[in-house]
Amino acid sequence: MLKNMMLFVGCVLMPMLVIAEPLCRDDNAGIVGAALDEKTQEFLYCERYYQLDESLWRVDYHDGNKLIVQKTLDYSLGLASPMVVQEDLRSGELRVVAVSDDLTHWRVKYRANTDEEKEVADVSRGSDQVVDAGFDAFVRQKWDDVIADGAIVFNFLSIPHLRSIPLRAKRVDIAGCDILNVQIQDGICIRVEANNRLLRFFVDRLTLLYDSKKRLRAFNGLVNIQSDAAKTQKATIVYQY
């Protein structure tokens, strides 16, 4: 019985995830994630992904009791660069990525909370541009390069900073993977960091764990969901399909 409880999408889990998994489960969701605090391993929130049509997804974030953040992802312009609307229902933080009428720029909007004004900027669109959850699709598009242990270089659109940040993603040895409490057979560990030595002092590193079917199974690093105190936070997220 205990052995069965410790299975979550083929992963061997830390004990808190065994508790979090029933809180996050939703048979109507295409993808479900359970997020834990990176250090304390306390349960933070659930991510539930619902496909509304061919190119539109809604993501609901719950703290176990109530909806705290809601996001829509519109992939009609490309899987790696969706248009985004994300609103924190607690603080009023708002993140928006839309496209200009001539399709040449992203119109990026950010509001820290309901007491602040929206900041707006236009950012040039590029073929190597990655937006929000589009990183997962970008990795799959570049899968052969990842497997070959080559570095993938891209520009990630940071909504709070209203600009693109040059990043690189590279496969690392699974034994050195930062997500130490999640293990899968034939796992592929990818580390994401700034593609600039100076920026690495300021941009947090991310670690992602994929399986051989190109599915993201676990994530570790800074997340785009704030804490209850409206502060940035780091988490480990394990995904169920």
Which of the four pLDDT bands, split at 50, 70 and 90, describes residue 15? low
Q: Does the pLDDT at position 16 exceed 70?
A: no
Please, is 61 exposed, middle or buried when counting C-beta atoms within 10 Å of its C-beta (0-12, 13-18, 19+)? buried
Nearest in space to 164 (alpha carbons), one of 191, 127, 207, 130: 130
Whether the predicted pLDDT of 52 surpasses 80: yes
The pLDDT confidence band at residue 29, using thresholds 50, 70 and 90, is: very high
- CA within 13 Å, CB half, 166: 7
What's the mean pLDDT in 216-237? 95
Q: Is the per-residue pLDDT at 172 higher than 50?
A: yes
Q: DSSP of 89-144, one letter per residue?
A: TTT--EEEEEE-TTSSEEEEEEESSTTSPPEEEEEE--TTEEETTHHHHHHHHTHH
- Token output for 232: 């940035």
Give the list of residues 6+ apart from residue 217 with CB closer than 8 angstroms, or none. Answer: 9, 10, 11, 182, 184, 187, 209, 210, 211, 238, 239
* Listed ranges 16-30, 125-139, 180-194; the one with the highest mean pLDDT: 125-139
Task: Please name the residue that has the structure tokens 């994630």.
Answer: 33
Is the pLDDT at 17 greater than 70? The verdict is: no
| pLDDT over threshold 90, residue 133 | yes
* Window from 6-20, 147-161, 168-182 with minimum mean pLDDT: 6-20
- pLDDT score at 4: 32
Instruction: Give the pairing of strands 188-194 and 11-12.
Output: unpaired
Sort 217 into a burial class: Cβ within 10 Å, 0-12 / 13-18 / 19+.
Answer: buried
pLDDT digits (tens, 9 = 90+) for 209-218: 999 899 999 9
